[in-house]
Amino acid sequence: MVMRLWVNGVEKEVQAEEDTMLIDLLRDRLHLTGTKKSCCSGECGACTVLVDGLPFRSCITPALVCEGRRVETIEGLGDAAHVHPIQQAFVDAGAVQCGFCTPGMILTAKALLEKNPEPTEEEIVEAMSGNFCRCTGYVKILDAVRSLVPYRPQEKEEKG
């Protein structure tokens, strides 16, 4: 069937069946390959996207769940000319190695910071804890998120 949703602020009409997962809709039908497919069973967080601002694992989320909703992928945050402050923080902190976990990490951090611009250390760890990384040992990812607190995206965006 044809479904309607907003992806990175743009309204889309796409074909989706009941068993179409959001990740496949994004990667295969909308060619947004920034969302990474890893465990494909909801365990690693690499495929995280935001649905109405909340982190969802797109590999286990049926696409139809997003009917009429706002989906945000890593491509929606910034591009070469407009670097989002969270992306910049990851670059500056050295939080990116192989990069496969990175889009999911950044979107998870975004969901946290938008809801709670001044998270405590425990709140950061709690919010990020479902995302796994095999390369970095997490230290610099935490550094990146911490460097954004208190989170004032507008201000930082203008600067960056």
Partner 1 sequence: MEKSRKEKYIGRRMPRRDALVKAQGRAKYTADYRTADMLWGKAVFSGMAHARILRVDAAKAEALPGVVCVMTAKDLPAAKKYGIFCADKPVIAENMILYEGDPIAFIAAETKEIAEEAAALIEAEYEALPVVEDPREALRDDVPPIHENHPVTGNAKVMAEVTLDRGDVDAAFAEADIILEDDFETPQIEHVYLEPDCCIARWVDDTDVLEIVAPQQAVYSTLRALAPVFGLPESRVRFISPYVGGGFGGKEDSCCDLAVIAGLLAMKTRRKVYSEFTAEEVFRYTGKRHGSYVHHRMAATKDGRVIGLDIDIILDKGAYQSMSGLTGGPHAVAQRTVLYAAGPYSVENVRIRSRAVFTNHPYGAAMRGFGAPQIHFAGESQMNELAHRLNMDPVAIRKLNMITPERPTSFGQVLTEENGLGLEECMDKVKAELDKPFMPKHPVRPSQRRGMGLAAYIYGTGMPYKSEGAMCVVHVNRDASVEVGISTTEMGQGAQTVMAQIAAEALGVPVETVNVPLPDTFLSPDSGPTVASRSTTFVGNAILDACRKLLAGFTEAVAHGVGCSPEEVTYAKGVFAAPDGQEIPLRRAIYMAATQAIPQSAVGIWYPPVDIGFGPKGGNSMHTYSFGCQGIDLLLDVETGEIELLRSVLACDIGHALNPQLVEGQMEGGAVMGLGYALTEGVEYKKGVVSNDSMKDYVILGFKDLPQMTSIIVEAANCMGPFGAKGVGEPPLVATAPAVREAIRNASDGVKLNRIPFTPERVITGIYKAKEGGQTS
Q: Which residues bind partner 1 (CB under 8 A)?
A: 27-28, 32-41, 43-44, 46, 73-75, 77-80, 83, 87, 90-92, 94, 96-103, 106, 125, 128-140, 142
Would you count residue 50 as binding ligand FES (CB under 6 A)?
no
Q: What count of other Cβ atoms lies within 10 Å of the Cβ of residue 111?
A: 20
Would you count residue 46 as binding ligand FES (CB under 6 A)?
yes
Instruction: Give the Å distances, CA to CA, from 73 to 30, 34, 57, 159.
Output: 11, 7, 11, 23
- Identify what 131 binds: ligand FES, partner 1, none; CB under 5 to 8 Å per kind: partner 1
Would you count residue 3 as binding ligand FES (CB under 6 A)?
no
- Identify what 57 binds: partner 1, ligand FES, none; CB under 5 to 8 Å per kind: ligand FES
Q: Which residue has the tokens 């069946």?
A: 17
Residue of the chain from 12, 37, 70, 156 that contacts ligand FES (CB under 6 A): 37
- Identify what 147 binds: partner 1, ligand FES, none; CB under 5 to 8 Å per kind: none
Asked if 109 and 145 touch (Cβ cutoff 8 Å), the reply is yes
Asked if 53 and 70 touch (Cβ cutoff 8 Å), the reply is yes
Which of 70/143 has CB closer to partner 1? 143
Cβ-proximal residues to 143 (8 Å cutoff; 6+ apart), any chain: 93, 94, 95
Would you count residue 45 as binding ligand FES (CB under 6 A)?
yes
Q: Give the closest residue to 7 by CA, choosing from 53, 77, 72, 104.
A: 72
